């Protein structure tokens, strides 16, 4: 089966080999307080910083999911007022998280499939943290990062958190203008689920609250290249190998490859009578998550594709029956994208 699902998705090609070797090398039995582990985490942090051009002064922490990252961001940095740019289910999840943690969040919400009107965007003056979703996995809308950078430059004391769960490593983030960026590994890194990564600015690290995953606790262990708890050691090892492989290929080439695959899908939809994009404006359309309205419903189409060896995601939540979602991550081969389009 070829998994074009939006995550968990197709494994990055080297992953099965890496996991099998890790099993025979005993990585799965290594203690997280051992030198072997410390060297691994140190190497991974170094490699991630190289791949994504993360400033030296920034910290990288390992969590268990993107959902956890949302919680830790609110818990650590917000006393009362976060403001949320909501344009789909995952940005709304971020907003709900703040509510559930007893904060008083506000939001700017737009219609599903659209981006924000940046010129008229109003952020309350008491906002401590602005939360944005780079790539809405539920709608296939990608917001322009330079608009966020502009906000940060105009409000240097405002913390900005960015969900890049389904856009990293495609997301070319200028980390000097974003305080907390997070992703999970089962999407763009083509790995088994169970690991989240958050990249934190020195400015955000001035805040801390909570227990083992307070920023203070995370930083104290990260400074020793460790985690407070026993982490997903195998996941951390596999991520390091994937990042090393991506460094070999080169991030520019990886990003270009994603755009090529995405452009193919866009060209197909444009010429098609059966499919239309939920995100109608090409300028805000995601390059990694393609949400297509299907004539005749999604379930029979998905069943037909499965018979051909391709799995795509259904639409999210209430869009389940009318939409499909197709991912173009680094793990998806160009020739398989072409084959998938032939079957659509």
Task: Name the one range near a copy of itself by CB under 8 A: 49-57, 117-125, 226-234, 268-276.
Answer: 226-234
Find out whether 235 and 192 touch, Cβ atoms under 8 Å: yes
Cα–Cα distance for residue pair 118/331, rounded to 1 Å: 33
* Least spacing, CB of residue 13 vs a copy of itself, in Å: 12
Q: Does 65 bind a copy of itself (CB under 8 A)?
A: yes
Cα–Cα distance for residue pair 335/9, rounded to 1 Å: 17
Q: Site for a copy of itself (CB under 8 A): which residue of 104, 230, 300, 318?
A: 230
Cα–Cα distance for residue pair 70/136, rounded to 1 Å: 14
- The continuous run of DSSP H or E covering 161 comes out as strand 159-163
Under rule CB under 8 A, how many of the chain's residues touch a copy of itself?
Answer: 55
Find out whether 205 and 55 touch, Cβ atoms under 8 Å: no
Q: Does 30 bind a copy of itself (CB under 8 A)?
A: yes
Q: How far apart are the first and last CA of the chain?
A: 16
Cα–Cα distance for residue pair 237/243, rounded to 1 Å: 10
DSSP structural state of residue 195: -
Q: Does 234 bind a copy of itself (CB under 8 A)?
A: yes
CA atoms within 13 A on the CB side of 248: 7
Q: Site for a copy of itself (CB under 8 A): which residue of 155, 214, 225, 276?
A: 214
Q: Does 9 bind a copy of itself (CB under 8 A)?
A: yes
Closer residue to a copy of itself, CB minimum distance, 66 or 169: 66
Q: Site for a copy of itself (CB under 8 A): which residue of 42, 43, 50, 64?
A: 64
* Least spacing, CB of residue 15 vs a copy of itself, in Å: 8
Find out whether 91 and 132 touch, Cβ atoms under 8 Å: yes
* Least spacing, CB of residue 209 vs a copy of itself, in Å: 9
Chain residues that interact with a copy of itself, rule: CB under 8 A:
1, 3, 5, 7-11, 15-16, 19-20, 23-24, 26, 28-32, 64-68, 70-71, 74, 96-97, 100-101, 184, 186, 191-195, 210-214, 217, 228-235, 311, 313
């Amino acid at each position: 089966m070829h998994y074009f699902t939006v995550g968990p998705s197709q494994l990055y090609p080297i992953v099965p080999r890496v996991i099998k070797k890790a099993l025979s090398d005993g990585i799965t039995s290594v203690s997280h307080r051992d030198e072997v582990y410390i060297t691994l985490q140190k190497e991974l942090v170094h490699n991630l910083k190289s791949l994504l051009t993360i400033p030296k002064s920034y910290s990288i922490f390992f969590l268990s999911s993107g959902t956890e990252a949302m919680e830790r961001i609110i818990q650590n940095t917000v006393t009362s007022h976060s403001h949320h740019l909501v344009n789909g289910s995952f940005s709304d999840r971020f907003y709900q998280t703040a509510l559930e943690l007893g904060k008083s969040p506000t939001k700017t919400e737009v219609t599903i499939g659209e981006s924000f009107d940046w010129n008229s965007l109003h952020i309350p003056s008491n906002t401590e943290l602005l939360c944005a979703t780079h790539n809405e996995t539920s709608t296939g809308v990608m917001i322009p990062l330079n608009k966020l950078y502009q906000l940060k430059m105009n409000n240097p004391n405002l913390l900005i958190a960015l969900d890049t769960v389904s856009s990293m490593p495609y997301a070319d983030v200028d980390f000097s203008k974003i305080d907390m960026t997070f992703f999970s590994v089962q999407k763009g890194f083509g790995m088994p689920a169970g690991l989240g990564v958050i990249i934190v600015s020195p400015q955000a690290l001035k805040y801390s609250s909570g227990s083992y995953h307070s920023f203070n606790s995370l930083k104290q262990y990260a400074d020793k290249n460790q985690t407070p708890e026993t982490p997903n050691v195998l996941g951390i090892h596999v991520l390091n190998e994937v990042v090393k492989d991506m460094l070999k290929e080169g991030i520019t080439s990886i990003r270009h490859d994603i755009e090529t695959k995405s452009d193919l899908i866009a060209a197909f939809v444009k010429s098609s009578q059966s499919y239309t994009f939920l995100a109608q404006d090409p300028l805000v359309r995601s390059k990694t998550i393609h949400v297509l309205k299907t004539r005749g419903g999604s379930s029979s189409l998905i069943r037909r594709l499965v018979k051909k060896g391709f799995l795509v995601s259904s639409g999210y939540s209430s869009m389940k029956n009318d939409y499909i979602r197709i991912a173009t991550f680094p793990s998806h081969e160009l020739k398989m994208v072409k084959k998938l389009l032939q079957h659509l």
